[in-house]
Amino acid sequence: MSFRRSAPAVLIAVSVVVLIATGIASNRMSSGLIASVEESRFQLMRSILVNSLGDAESKALARAEMIASLPNVQHLLRTADREAMFDETGRMFEIQRDRFGVDQAQFFVPPSVSFLRINAPDKFGDDVASFRPTVVEAFKTGESIKGLSISRSGPAVFGIAPVRDDLGDIGFVEFGLDFAAVLDGLKARYGLDCALFMEEKPLREIATGMGGDVLTDENRIGKYMRIHTTHLDRMKELVADRDIMSGERTYVRDAAGVPHGVLVLPAKNYAGKQIGVIVVAADFSGSRGASSETMVWQALLALFGIVLSAGAILIVIRGMIVLPMREVANKLAAVAAGDRTEEVAGVDDMCDEMKDIARSVEVLRSKTEGEP
């Protein structure tokens, strides 16, 4: 074993291991911080989406309750005067549709028969019990209900309120807010890209009034149909079959070279049954970039640590110990071999401890000088 090689190798190896371990630990800590930042962003996205949907449900219900409280509406529903009801509410619906994203409004009479669809006045008289559990539940309880649902015109955010007069219950009025308007609002206000996917089977069975351009092969992803998206190209890159098949989840994926945080939330109706999936995506390039950049700088710091400690070890061990000791050892070997002509060189360049040894060798050389 050579001290000249082994000692620096051991010390350098130890310092390399320590520095790499420190670097990894430091990286784990900063990654944890960035992960918690991203988690809080996911939480924020979730809150924004849930609150926006809650607001939309409340707005739909508020409209329904406002209309339900109008005496003339109560009278017209009581007298079953469909034409007068349309005249009374048609203009109101037009403004609500054009300016506030309301795309459905409907009156029901017992047991659960559509009395008037203001958005499609030609279609009435059908019993919706088979495909509108919300309406059935409302008639059953007699109370207001709000939530997501699929109607003949497609999925929407609904609020349904009872219409009553002094004589008792008459029926229900329902308002449905366009899902697309809610998601477009999120895009415009918060820069979040959103997509709504609904199960194909109930869509085909219930939403017979939906435009044919929605239920196409291009929009099919597994058992879901893409109903609306705020950025089709981006969402195509961000969402694949497997992503929306398994409940709520979050992940980060690149779209057009930019990392996006993607939140997948199940869309449930008032009863808690999943009827679709809502996907929200936000630009995560800031946190991802910071994470990668931090890793690079940490690696550089580790490199600095390794190089500087290795350099210091080599300088100290070789410059202060090995080389002076080799000089002393050579001279001691020469004395032992009978060569006592040369003094130990560079004694002044040695550290104190080494100087003592060199001087001892010098004493030995001078004492034995002249001996055969």
Partner 1 sequence: VRPARPPRPHRQAGRRARQVAGFLTGVLLLLLVVIRWSRAESVEEPLPPGKAEAPMPTSKGLPNVVRAAVQFVDVRGVDENAQTFDATIDLRLRWEDTSLRGHELIEVSGDAADEALAGIWVPKVELANLEGDPAYRERGVVISRDGSVELIERVRGTFHTPFRVKRFPFDRHMLEVHAVVRGKTLDQVVLDFVQDDVAFSRARDGIEIDGWSPTVVDLARSPVPGFRGQFHAGVVAGLWVERDWTGVLAPVFIPLFSSLLIPLIAIWLNKVEDGEFAVDAFELANVLIGGLFAVIALNFTVNGAYETVANGDNTATRLFGLNYLTLGLSLVVDIVLFRFNVAKRLFGRWVQEQTFLVLLWAIPVLSMGTGIAVVAAAACG
Minimal distance, residue 231 CB to partner 1, in Å: 6
CB of 175 to partner 1, least distance (A): 18
Q: Pick the binder of partner 1 from 9, 10, 14, 95 (CB under 8 A).
A: 95
Stretch that binds partner 1, among 50-58, 65-73, 164-172, 286-294 (CB under 8 A): 286-294
Quote the DSSP letter at residue 208.
T
Nearest to 200 by CA among 129, 275, 148, 269: 275
Shortest distance in whole angstroms from residue 14 CB to partner 1? 18
175: helix, strand or coil: strand
Measured from the CB atom, the residue of 144 and 219 that comes closer to partner 1 is 219
Burial (CB count <10 Å: 0-12, 13-18, 19+), residue 68: buried
35 scored as a contact of partner 1 (CB under 8 A): no
| Per-residue binder mask for partner 1 (CB under 8 A), 154-183, x = binder | --------------------------xx--
Q: How far is CA 70 from CA 74, 165, 173, 176, 217, in A?
A: 6, 10, 11, 19, 45
Among 126, 205, 248, 293, binds partner 1 (CB under 8 A): 293
The residues, any chain, with a CB within 8 Å of residue 112's CB and separated by 6 or more, are 127, 128, 129, 132, 135, 136, 139
- Residue 320 binding partner 1, by CB under 8 A: yes
Q: Which residues of 87-107 are buried (b: 16+ CB within 10 A; e: fewer)?
A: ebbeebbeebbeeebbbbbbb
CA 9 centroid distance within chain: 46
Residue with tokens 């000249």: 4
Nearer Cβ to partner 1, position 110 or 319? 319
Q: Which amino acid is at 300?
A: L
What is the amino acid identity at position 275?
Answer: I
Among 1, 2, 71, 98, binds partner 1 (CB under 8 A): 98
Q: Residue 128: which residues within 8 A CB-CB, separation 6 or more?
A: 108, 112, 113, 114, 135, 136, 151, 152
Count H helices, E strands: the chain? 11, 11
In the block, which residue shows the tokens 């929306």? 244
Size of the site for partner 1 (CB under 8 A): 47
Applying CB under 8 A, the span of 48-56, 110-118, 319-327, 333-341 interacting with partner 1 comes to 319-327
Binding piece for partner 1, criterion CB under 8 A, among 50-58, 91-99, 133-141, 200-208: 91-99
Site string for partner 1, 327-346 (x = CB under 8 A): -------------------x
Smallest gap from residue 303 Cβ to partner 1 (A) = 5
CB atoms closer than 10 angstroms to residue 333: 10
Amino acid in position 274: Q
Does residue 299 bind partner 1 (CB under 8 A)?
yes
Is the CB of 251 or the CB of 297 nearer to partner 1?
A: 297
Residues in contact with partner 1, shown as a per-residue x/- string from 210 to 239 under the rule CB under 8 A = ------------------xxxxxxx-----
Sheet containing strand 274-283, edge to edge, reads 220-221, 224-229, 193-199, 274-283, 258-268, 249-255
Q: Give the interface with partner 1 as residue ranges (CB under 8 A).
A: 95, 98-99, 180-181, 184, 187-189, 191, 228-234, 256-258, 289-290, 292-293, 295-297, 299-300, 303-304, 307-308, 310-311, 314-315, 318-320, 323-324, 346, 348-351
